[in-house]
Structure formats: structure tokens, C-alpha cells
């Protein structure tokens, strides 16, 4: 019975991911809507006061963020981007210029290999003042579903409790509910092209 339940849960998650990917791929005006969403992010009071801010670098049909990085670099903040190491874990890189990035594995824009391990470019998760989080599907209460690899779950475990976690998504990625486990991390905010939803965060 337990195995059946686990299988059913896995199938349900797979179905949600497939639906969310399909909806996101079909989303029109991605560039325009993405610009609006990222503008909302950078207008947050939490962004204004943060010194160290993590941006994700968009891949495939995610809300596009790379067009905003040059502007963010002019805001007097330390801008951080994540990259995935050989062990399947996210590491954090201090971005100084768009020239620091290059197309790597899976056609993902990531820090240049010769720069990644420089001590002055490495940052710990507990140094982050604000975290921008991607995902496949979300709820308006801040539940999140990723690709199932757990990259961001592991990273967010080490973020400070007072560091806001802010998801960026298109409205088409929102679901009434998602299957969540006890260890799943809820977002503090979910920003879409329509509005900003206040999530449960990590307080519950």
C-alpha cells in the first residue's frame, strides 16, 4: 500500500510537471512579461535594503532574468548567481560582469570555469540577504515544485531564516495545490505578471 501511495505521488508530481512545462512553453510574450516580473522583484523593499542578492539565470522557458542582470550590477549590491557542480549541488558565485558567464553544459549560462573556484568569488548561502528562486510549479501560498533533483531544497536549507525567498513565475505555473512533504520549503513571496502573492514562508 505504501509503495502504491509513493507511486501515485510520483505520478501526480510527474503530471503536474508536464502540465506546468507545457503551459510555460506555450506562454506568449515571455520577454515582456518576464521584464515586468523582474521589475516587481527589484521594486521590493527587501531588494532595496539587501546587500547580497541571489538571482537565478533563466534556462529554457523560465521567467527570464538574464536581461536584468546588467542593471542589477549597477545597484551597488553584491549580485550572486548559482551554478551546479559535479556532485549535483548548487554553489554560489559573485558576479561582477556579464563577461563572467559562458554557455556551459546543457546550454546553460553559468560562471566561467576558470573563475568559479576563486576564493573571492565564492559565497556561502548564509551570506545571502535575498534569494530569487525558480521553479516548475507553485501555489499562491508559496508551495514550490522543482525538477525533482532537490538542488534548491538543499541550498535553501542553509539560507538564513530571515532571508526572504522570492519565487518568479508566470501565472500559468500556479496550481490550486501541490503535493508537499514536511521538508519542503515554502516561499515568502511568489511574483507573477499579475501580482505578488504572500506565501507561508518558513515560519510554519
Residue 47 lies in a domain: yes
Residue 31 lies in a domain: yes
Chain-centroid distance, C-alpha 165: 9
How many domains are contained in the chain?
Answer: 1
The residue-averaged pLDDT of 49-70 equals 97
What CATH code is carried by the domain that includes residue 151? Answer: 3.40.50.10420
Residue 203 lies in a domain: no
The pLDDT tens digits for 100-159 are 999 987 788 999 999 999 999 999 999 999 999 999 999 999 999 998 888 898 899 999
Residue 74 lies in a domain: yes
Pairwise CA distance, residues 194 & 60, whole Å: 21
Residue 34 lies in a domain: yes
Query: What is the percentage of the chain residues whose pLDDT exceeds 90?
Result: 83
Residue 204 lies in a domain: no
Q: Please report the pLDDT score of residue 204 as a whole number.
A: 53
Query: Which residue segment(s) compose the domain that 148 sits in?
Result: 2-198
Furthest CA-CA distance within the chain:
56
Q: Please report the pLDDT score of residue 6 as a whole number.
A: 76
Q: Please report the pLDDT score of residue 181 as a whole number.
A: 79
Q: With 90 as the cut, is the pLDDT of residue 4 above it?
A: no
Residue 121 lies in a domain: yes
Residues with Cβ within 8 Å of 139's Cβ and at least 6 positions away in sequence, in order, are 174, 175, 176, 177, 178, 190
Check: pTM over 0.85? Answer yes or no: yes
The pLDDT tens digits for 108-124 are 899 999 999 999 999 99
How crowded is residue 17: how many other Cβ atoms within 10 Å of its Cβ?
16
* Grid cell digits, residue 115: 573563475
Q: With 90 as the cut, is the pLDDT of residue 9 above it?
A: no
Pairwise CA distance, residues 203 & 163, whole Å: 12
29: alpha, beta or left, given left = phi > 0 and alpha = psi -120 to 50? left
Residue 65 lies in a domain: yes
From residue 29, alpha-carbon distances to 17, 24, 64 in Å are 21, 11, 11
Q: With 80 as the cut, is the pLDDT of residue 3 above it?
A: no
Pairwise CA distance, residues 143 & 187, whole Å: 6
Amino acid at each position: 500500500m505504501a509503495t502504491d501511495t509513493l507511486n501515485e505521488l510520483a505520478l501526480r508530481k510527474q503530471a503536474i510537471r508536464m502540465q506546468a512545462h507545457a503551459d510555460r512553453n506555450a506562454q506568449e510574450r515571455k520577454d515582456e512579461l518576464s521584464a515586468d516580473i523582474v521589475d516587481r522583484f527589484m521594486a521590493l523593499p527587501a531588494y532595496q535594503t539587501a546587500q547580497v542578492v541571489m538571482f537565478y539565470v533563466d534556462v529554457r522557458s523560465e521567467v527570464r532574468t538574464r536581461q536584468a542582470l546588467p542593471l542589477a550590477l549597477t545597484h551597488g549590491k553584491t549580485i550572486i548567481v548559482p551554478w551546479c557542480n559535479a556532485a549535483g549541488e548548487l554553489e554560489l558565485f559573485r558576479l561582477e560582469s556579464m563577461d563572467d558567464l559562458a554557455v556551459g553544459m546543457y546550454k546553460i549560462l553559468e560562471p566561467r570555469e576558470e573563475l568559479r573556484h576563486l576564493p573571492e568569488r565564492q559565497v556561502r548561502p548564509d551570506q545571502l540577504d535575498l534569494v530569487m528562486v525558480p521553479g516548475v510549479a507553485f501555489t499562491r501560498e508559496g508551495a514550490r515544485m522543482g525538477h525533482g533533483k532537490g538542488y534548491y531544497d538543499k541550498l535553501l536549507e542553509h539560507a538564513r531564516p530571515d532571508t526572504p525567498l522570492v519565487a518568479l513565475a508566470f501565472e500559468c505555473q500556479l496550481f490550486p495545490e501541490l503535493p508537499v512533504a514536511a521538508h519542503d520549503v515554502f516561499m515568502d513571496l511568489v511574483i507573477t505578471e499579475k501580482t505578488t502573492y504572500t506565501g507561508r514562508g518558513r515560519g510554519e
